[in-house]
Each structure stands twice: as C-alpha cells, then as structure tokens.
Amino acid sequence: MNTVIRLGYTIFAGLILTGMACAATQSFTTSIHFLEPLSFNAAVNPDLGAWSTGPSGRDLVLNTDSSVGGTNAADYIGGAAASTVTVVGSAFNAIDIVANNFVANGGVSINNVPCKYGAAAATTCGGGGIPAAAAPTTGGTALLLGVDVVTTSAHVDGDTAAPTFDIVVSYN
C-alpha cells in the first residue's frame, strides 16, 4: 500500500516540476465602426391617382416611374405619382431595404411595393426586398416607390382607400 501512495506522489511531483501548462491566455482586439444613423428625407406617399369604378379583383400598379400598369390599367384616369424618398446614412456601409406591414383599407390590399434604389434596376421591396444595396451617397440616395394593389371589393363613385405599408432600411 505504501508503494501506490508513493507512485501517485511521484507522478504529481513530476507534473509540477516539468512546467505543464494548465491555462492559456490569448489577447483579442475588437473593432467598432461608427455609422451615421439612417433616415429618410422628403418622404411623400405614393399616389395611385384616380381610377374608374369597378368590381373587386382588379390589379392596379403604380410603377416607380409614375407610369401605371396591371391587368386593369385601362381603368386608369390620371393623377398617379410615385414616391421619391431620399435615404441618408453612412457612405461606408451597405444597406437592406424591405417593404412590410401591408395593411388593407377601403377594399384595397397591397400585393407588393415596386422600388428603385439609386442607379440599380427597378425591383420589388416586398418579400426579401433589396439585400446588400449600395451605401447611400453623400447627401443621400433616391429610393423610388410605387405600389401594386388589388381591389377586394367593388368600388362606386366617391369611394377612397388608403392602404398602408412600411419601408424598413437597415445597415447590412
């Protein structure tokens, strides 16, 4: 029994004497980027203008260049205007742009939001939106917004509707 105790003591002493490491240290340096807060300048609502009265189920589209389309474009009377918003923020970081929170009103619901950011081609901001869009330029970058809606009820003379949506811009 004395031999077992001695061996245990001898091994323990050997570990201490050989300088075996029981801990490790690593230094880290963190980085931080300071970015100008994102904001919108001159936000104006897209305006679908005036359309003929008609049944539910009509598709009406206001494009980012203020032209109209959709399967019922022939019902357009006039006054449509896309929205031009200036996105202001850091010129050093890409951004994500997405339309969400579509809320129907007055028998009209939103299918999607056509959008065009800066020099990029027009696309839609609903669903995945525009991921990793270029950083805003100094002074801001134009974001053009239209709206693609469907009528969910018949409309008569004098009816109005004001469906809503949100545009969310965040740093990528």
> Over the stretch 111-152, which tens digit does the pLDDT of each residue have?
999 999 999 999 999 988 999 999 999 889 999 999 999 999
pLDDT surpasses 70 at 63: yes
Query: According to the model, what pLDDT value does residue 23 have?
Result: 84
69 against 42, higher pLDDT: 69
Query: According to the model, what pLDDT value does residue 26 have?
Result: 87
Q: Mean pLDDT score of the chain, rounded to an integer?
A: 86
Query: According to the model, what pLDDT value does residue 19 have?
Result: 58
Q: What architecture is domain 39-171? A: Sandwich (2.60)
pLDDT surpasses 90 at 2: no
pLDDT surpasses 80 at 76: yes
Q: HEC string of the chain?
A: CHHHHHHHHHHHHHHHHHCCCCCCCCCCCCCCCCCCCCEEECCCCCECCEECCECCCCEEEECCCCCEECCCHHHEEECCECEEEEEECCCCCCEEEEEEEEECECCEEEEECEEEECCCCCEECCCCCEEEECCCCCCCEEEEECEEEEECCCECCCCCCCCEEEEEEEEC
For the chain, domain boundaries: 39-171
| Lowest-pLDDT range of 37-51, 118-132, 150-164 | 37-51
Stretch 66-79: mean pLDDT: 93
